[in-house]
Amino acid sequence: MMPEPLAKRVRRAVRRAVPIVALIAAACSRDHRTVLTVYSPHGKELLSYYETAFERAHPDVDVQWVDMGSQDIIDRLRSEKANPQADVWFGAPEEIFVRAAAEGLLAPYRPSWADAVPADAHDAHDLWYGTYLTPEVIAYNSDAVSAADAPKDWDDVLDPKWTGKVLIRDPIASGSMRAIFGAIILRSIRTTGSPEQGFEWLRRLDANTKEYTLTPTVLYQKLGRQEGLITLWDMPDIAVLQQRHTIPVQYVIPKSGTPLLVDGIAIVKGTKHEALARAYYELVTTPQALDTAAVKFLRIPVRTDLPLDALPQWIRDAKEKITPMPLDRAMLAAHLDEWMRYWDSHIRNSAR
């Protein structure tokens, strides 16, 4: 039997460690407060901000968040289904929420603002609702790559001149990368009736890829050190890197279209703190919270009742430039896991 790939062993170890970390955090909770556990891929800055805001409003609560990839979250919820450890799931592409809803992992809740989101941005049975819109983009180290030379569209990333210069966040654990890969395969099915052209695209991307990084932080560091020059990632995170960090990075919105993901929120079925979970759900999705998310964390709100002219200029500019790629969400929910398993088994590192 061939030894299991190192990346898979590391991912499994990380997932197994999560409940241990959560238990330790709960044990260390200050002043015997009630612990509210949030699973999220949204990162330390955003999660810490809302942790502080919620605890200020609820002094008897200690918010404990666990930051991990979207796919890792659903895997964790599956393993904990008989004894849920989380209360709120805050963040992941809708495709992953759709699968979680079908598997009975989510509890219904209709938020106070339910009528302010489009019908395709929430579950018909109130099992999840959209919070942010997340465009996927091509990013590059702007010290090493000029704007003129940077890829302008998805197919440009396959140019042989980028061989060994592409960094990719490990797609198995990442909702953003799974969405990009899924969109490429859907494009193939729309044009040819088969996913094969999409798999061939992913093979050519693999041939140009230097490394699949285990975390977004490692991806950013390596991009900043020019260990790779090009990546595919979500626009808000790249924009945060531009504004708040010393990493020289720019992004391009692909001209042919980009996956425009609906990022969601849900209450975990079996939560032991349902009232607090609902209160957290409401707090992070108020107009004020969404305005803060737009200004401080560069997130595009889903809610349609927020005046466009009150949002930051970059959001208005982005909305004008973005052409959403057609996404068959039902097909993604039904087949993306299968496609990713094929990629992992037959395409990952196949050129090396």
Q: Are residues 32 and 94 in the same domain?
A: yes
Query: Residue 275 has what pLDDT?
Result: 98
Whole-number pLDDT of residue 19: 53
> Using CA atoms, how far apart are residues 282 and 288, in angstroms rounded to an integer?
11
d(CA 95, CA 130): 11
The range of the structural domain enclosing residue 87 comes to: 6-133+260-319
The reply to whether 352 falls in a domain is no
List, in order, residues 6 or more apart from 256 with CB less than 8 Å away. 153, 154, 323, 325
Res. 244 pLDDT band, cuts 50 70 90? confident
Q: Mention every residue, 6+ apart, whose C-beta is less than 8 A from residue 311.
A: 291, 294, 301
In this predicted structure, the answer to whether residue 141 has a pLDDT above a threshold of 70 is: yes
Check whether residue 149 and residue 39 sit in a common domain. no
Residue-level pLDDT at 13:
52
- Residues 155 and 283 occupy one common structural domain: no
User: What pLDDT, on a 0 to 100 scale, did the predictor assign at position 144?
Assistant: 98
Q: How many domains does the chain have?
A: 2
Same domain, yes or no, for 251 and 202?
Answer: yes
Burial 259-270 (b: 16+ CB within 10 A, else e): bbbbbbbbbbbb
CA geometry: angle 233, 346, 9, nearest 5 deg = 70
Q: What is the pLDDT confidence band of residue 31, given thresholds at 50, 70 and 90?
A: low
Residues 210 and 332 in one domain: yes
Same domain, 144 and 212: yes
Q: Where are the beta strands (DSSP E) in the chain?
A: 34-40, 61-67, 88-93, 106-107, 129-141, 166-169, 209-213, 230-234, 249-252, 260-268, 300-301
pLDDT score for 317: 87
CATH, residue 303: 3.40.190.10
Residue 24 has pLDDT above 70, yes or no: no
Q: 22 vs 348, which has greater pLDDT?
A: 348
Same domain for 222 and 341, yes or no, is: yes
Q: Angle between the 6-27 and 70-79 helix axes, to the nearest 10 degrees?
A: 70
Same domain, 36 and 107: yes
Q: What is the structure's pLDDT at 104?
A: 98
pLDDT per residue over 48-87, tens digit each?
999 999 999 999 999 999 999 899 999 999 999 999 999 9
Residue 158 reports pLDDT greater than 50: yes
Helix (H) or strand (E) holding 152: none
**Is the same domain home to 21 and 141?**
no
DSSP string, 4-58: PPHHHHHHHHHHHHHHHHHHHHHHT-GGGPEEEEEEESS-HHHHHHHHHHHHHH-
Q: Which residues pair with 65 in a beta bridge?
A: 38
Residue 1 lies in a domain: no
- Is residue 34, in this structure, part of any structural domain at all? yes
Q: Which of these, 42, 106, 101, lies nearest to 69 by C-alpha position? A: 42
Instruction: For the chain, give the number of residues.
Output: 352
- In this structure, the answer to whether residues 59 and 162 fall within a common structural domain is no
* Percent over 90 (pLDDT), the chain: 78
What pTM, to 2 d.p., does this model score?
0.81
Mean pLDDT of the region 263-275: 98
DSSP-assigned beta bridge partners for residue 137:
233
Q: 292 and 248 in one domain?
A: no
Q: Round to whole Å and give the CA distance between 292 and 305.
A: 16
